[in-house]
A and B are shown apart, each in its own frame.
Chain A
Amino acid sequence: MTAASAASRGMLVCHACGLLSKAQPHVHEMSCPRCGDHLHFRKPNSIQRSWALLLTAMLLYIPANLLPMMHTSSLFGSQSDTIMSGVVYFWTSGSWYLALIIFFASIMVPLLKMVALMLLLITAQRRSRWQLQQRTRLYRLVEFVGRWSMLDIYVVAVIVALVQLKGLATILPGPGAIAFGAVVVLTMFAAMAFDPRIMWDSLETERG
């Protein structure tokens, strides 16, 4: 194969401005000659950092789904809503399209994202050459879609701010919101820590 990676030729591409530059020998802390950003051949400790963030997110995904996102209390009693009960509420009250949006954005997207990152990390660790193009595409999808999970946080924020009728009805944010926000942020950081170029490095190592 004639294809060569920039790293194998001692060249680095800057993440911030895209400039390709030659690595200087005997220099440990390299920075981009154009924009000054840190340069490295591969993101440092990419796999370990990504795993650590991902595992934390997976743990927090449990309370995020079990603990209530909102407490509603009025003269007629009080109730606590988890993400799933919100989906059920919309489904039964006829807004099935909203139920689907929330179900996908808040339950399926974080779950699929974590499974996808796990797959990427395990295959990269095993230096697998399987479906490199599709795996890179999966990584792009994970990076693109992650932000949409913030949806439920914003819903809670707006509703809590509006419904503050002391005495008549109050809606308070629940602990699930903290866990859920943490899941979104941690999975975003996990995806950013992962370096897709590591997957392609498997093409360059000699293995029998």
Chain B
Amino acid sequence: MKEDGMTEPLVACHECDLLQREVPVPRGGVVRCVRCNAVLYRSHPDSFERTLALTAGGIVLFAIANSFPLIGLKIQGQLIETTLFQTVQTLWNEDMKSVGMLVFATTMLMPGLQLAALTYLLLPLRVGRAPAHFAIVYRVMQSVRPWGMVEVFMLGVLVSLVKLAHLAGIVPGAALGAFAVLMFVMAAIAAVFDPRDLWARLAAVESRRHAQRHVHDPHRAGVTS
């Protein structure tokens, strides 16, 4: 982004607003604000591919975590199981609609939206296409991020297991394991995802498309950048 009067690309810190020169990041390195030490940007080797791979895995885990029972209680030979959505339903029916909605939003809706948005943004770019409404979906993904609380939910399930252990035998369900792994996958996505890389890819794809439109030669192999 070279504008009039600017010879070097600049960045501003999002936490203290200090204007500073953009410096190249070493591979796997982090660039911090010189004044307040906030992370300005970082470079991850293969950030794009890794985010895509983790997202694909996350979707599978998310599906398992939501369709199988989380935990079961064995009381007098009777097995009582609950899925995540059933806990939301119980809260809703017990006239705790606000709490039920909070649980639903933070454990199902927001993580689901985040995974779906990431797939929507990354997958077409991977095959050289720019998805429609890229900017809107990107903003949804960014605003949804702080509200997905899979890791806190996991700890909550563990605490309630200990609380219930004296009441009855506990049968861990398939969703429990899926949730435990999903927790690490979501954390890995947060660590690996690089917005700068994503926007750079979008720009590259768009400029390539633009260039192709102006080339009369129908053989794409002949187009070099």
Q: Shortest distance in angstroms between A169's beta carbon and chain B's nearest beta carbon?
A: 8
Interface segment, B43-51, B58-66, B80-88, B181-189? B80-88
Is the C-beta of A172 less than 8 angstroms from some C-beta in chain B? yes
A158 in contact with B82 (CB, 8 Å): yes
Is the C-beta of A150 less than 8 angstroms from some C-beta in chain B? yes
B16 in contact with A136 (CB, 8 Å): yes
Is the C-beta of B8 less than 8 angstroms from some C-beta in chain A? no
- Interface residue count for B (Cβ, 8 Å)? 60
CA distance A19 to B1 in the complex (A): 9
| B195 cross-chain contacts in A, Cβ below 8 A | 17-18
Which of A11, A136, A143 contacts B12, CB < 8 Å?
A11
* Chain A 172-195: CB-based contact to B (< 8 A → 1; otherwise 0): 110001100110010010001000
Is the C-beta of A122 less than 8 angstroms from some C-beta in chain B? no
| B80 cross-chain contacts in A, Cβ below 8 A | 162, 164-165
B91 in contact with A160 (CB, 8 Å): yes
B82 in contact with A200 (CB, 8 Å): no
B73 in contact with A162 (CB, 8 Å): yes
| B100 cross-chain contacts in A, Cβ below 8 A | 157
| A93 cross-chain contacts in B, Cβ below 8 A | 166
| A66 cross-chain contacts in B, Cβ below 8 A | none
Is the C-beta of B136 less than 8 angstroms from some C-beta in chain A? yes
A154 in contact with B91 (CB, 8 Å): no
Is the C-beta of A101 less than 8 angstroms from some C-beta in chain B? yes
Interface secondary structure of A, over-half rule? helix
Q: A18-B196, A197-B17 are in contact. Are A154 and B152 (CB under 8 A)?
A: yes
Which residues of chain A in 113-139 are interfacial with respect to chain B, using CB atoms and an 8 Å cutoff? 132-133, 136-137, 139
Kindly report which residue of chain A lies nearest to residue B33, judged by CB atoms. A136
Which of A19, A177, A188 contacts B146, CB < 8 Å?
A188
Q: A136-B38, A148-B152, A188-B146 are in contact. Are A158 and B87 (CB under 8 A)?
A: yes
* Chain B 1-27: CB-based contact to A (< 8 A → 1; otherwise 0): 101000000111111111100000000
| A21 cross-chain contacts in B, Cβ below 8 A | 1
Is the C-beta of A111 less than 8 angstroms from some C-beta in chain B? no
| A16 cross-chain contacts in B, Cβ below 8 A | 138-139, 142-143
| A6 cross-chain contacts in B, Cβ below 8 A | 10, 12, 17-19
Q: Shortest distance in angstroms between B137's beta carbon and chain A's nearest beta carbon?
A: 10
B36 in contact with A200 (CB, 8 Å): yes
Which of B82, B99, B135 contacts A153, CB < 8 Å?
B99
A5 in contact with B18 (CB, 8 Å): yes
Sorted from nearest, which 7 A-B pairs have the closest CB atoms? A154-B156, A6-B12, A161-B87, A5-B17, A13-B12, A200-B16, A158-B160
* 29 A/B residue pairs, CB under 8 Å, sorted by A: A6-B10, A6-B12, A6-B18, A6-B19, A11-B12, A12-B12, A16-B143, A18-B195, A35-B135, A90-B162, A101-B155, A102-B159, A132-B36, A136-B36, A148-B152, A150-B106, A151-B156, A153-B103, A154-B103, A154-B107, A157-B90, A158-B71, A158-B160, A161-B87, A162-B71, A162-B73, A162-B82, A164-B80, A169-B167
- Sample of 14 more A-B contacts, CB < 8 Å, known A5-B19, A93-B166, A162-B80: A4-B18, A5-B16, A9-B19, A17-B138, A20-B1, A101-B159, A136-B38, A151-B156, A153-B102, A153-B156, A155-B156, A159-B164, A161-B90, A161-B91
